[in-house]
Structure 1
């Protein structure tokens, strides 16, 4: 164990340190290598410390995704506060924030998303995150369309699904971040402008 890692630090700070190390493990070794024991070893702490913070591998993966999600929502809300209140502008800002978050999170975000589909608890957590995104998108886009609420909600489900697929392509290097954001923005405008 390294001397700095094993020193007593406040619980919240230790949790953040462990999450930082977990992201490094996923980036360097993939999600299959991410166990609480391996995390403890890489972080230079005892195994019980990683269990105290996350209880299980599922708990760790959910905490990692929660960190990404919190950052993504904060980026989106901040960007929306600075934009003109017009559908095209809002769609551009939403799309740019989405792609920027994926780019800055790197391929780890998609790997963590895939790993969250491993058991019932993680599936329920991931579905809850998606439901919150759908609600946020619907709330943000509602002033710019006259669609019935349920139709708008369904279209937001589609927008988020498209955003996931487009961001995967971007991360594979098949297009630039700006092209990915422009594609998503055009879909948002088209889907909200159409009554059918």
Structure 2
């Protein structure tokens, strides 16, 4: 054996912390989706991620910490989609279907993600409930800002309308997915948006500011 070979011990590839964290969350999603929270094991999550348990515990002290981090990432993604929909156009008539569509796409895109938010069986845990509540409150906040600015309403009235739009979008999207409807995603979004627009868009048109 050469001196060079002797001086080159086998080392494990180390990912940057953010990349490793994303890898662990992806593995955790698969395990939680397959087994549920209570039956999920940290051993299996580490195995799915291809890391040792000590590495997993370096990032997440326990299973609940991992679950909450994953839940928070899903909430962030939903809120990002809602804000992107609102920012996609200045035409309020188009904002409504864009926003409704954001909920439909989120629900239809990753069943495990939306179930963790809207159907979590850990709502008795304060940190879980806080994350679940943020999925609605942050979406409502984003829509409230837009309605207040563009429809000329005060914040209380704008917030009430925003809550209605978020509730309508969430419930309609979940119902559509759960019932394997013959209605296409596009038609379902259009129907839901028409209902919302007749109340919000037609009743509170854009106020032109000088």
Q: Same fold (TM over 0.5)?
A: yes
- Separation in structure 2 between the aligned mates of residue 37 and residue 53 of structure 1, nearest angstrom: 14
Structure 2: state its 5+ residue gaps: 1-11, 205-210
Aligned pair partner of 1:108 in 103, 109, 112: 112
Question: In the alignment, which of 80, 84, 91 is matched to residue 96 of structure 2?
Answer: 91
Alignment partner, residue 5 of structure 2: none
**TM-score, normalized by length of structure 2?**
0.75
1:141 aligns to 2:147 (yes or no): yes
User: CA, structure 1 residues 181+61, in 2 after alignment: closer, same or farther (shift >3 Å)?
Assistant: farther
What is the Cα deviation at residue 33 of structure 1? 3.4
Contact 2:148 2:158 (8 Å CA) reproduced: yes
Cα distance in 2 for residues equivalent to 1:158 and 1:151: 11
**1:155 alignment counterpart:** 161
Larger Rg: 2
Q: Which of the pair is proportionally richer in helix? A: 1
**In the superposition, relative to structure 1, how do residues 78 and 128 fare at CA in structure 2: closer, same or farther (>3 Å)?**
closer
The match for 1:13 among 10, 19, 25 is 19
- For structure 1, the residue ranges without an aligned partner over 5 or more in a row are 1-5
| Contact preservation (8 Å) 1:18, 1:39 | yes
Alignment root-mean-square deviation, CA: 2.5
Once the two structures are overlaid, the 10-residue window that deviates more, 14-23 or 127-136, is: 127-136
Q: Distance in 1 between matches of 2:15 and 2:93?
A: 47
Residues matched between the structures, number: 188
| C-alpha distance after superposition, 1:48-105 (max 9, x if no partner) | 322332333332222223322333333344444442x222111011112221222222
TM-score normalized with structure 1 length: 0.80
Displaced runs of 4+ in structure 1, greater than 6 A? none
1:60 to 63, 66, 80: 66
Equivalent pair of 1:88/1:185 in contact (CA under 8 Å): no
Once residues 99 and 155 of structure 1 are traced to their aligned partners in structure 2, the CA distance between those partners, rounded to angstroms, is 19
Aligned to 1:3: none
Paired residue for 1:180? 188
**2:176 equivalent in structure 1:** 170
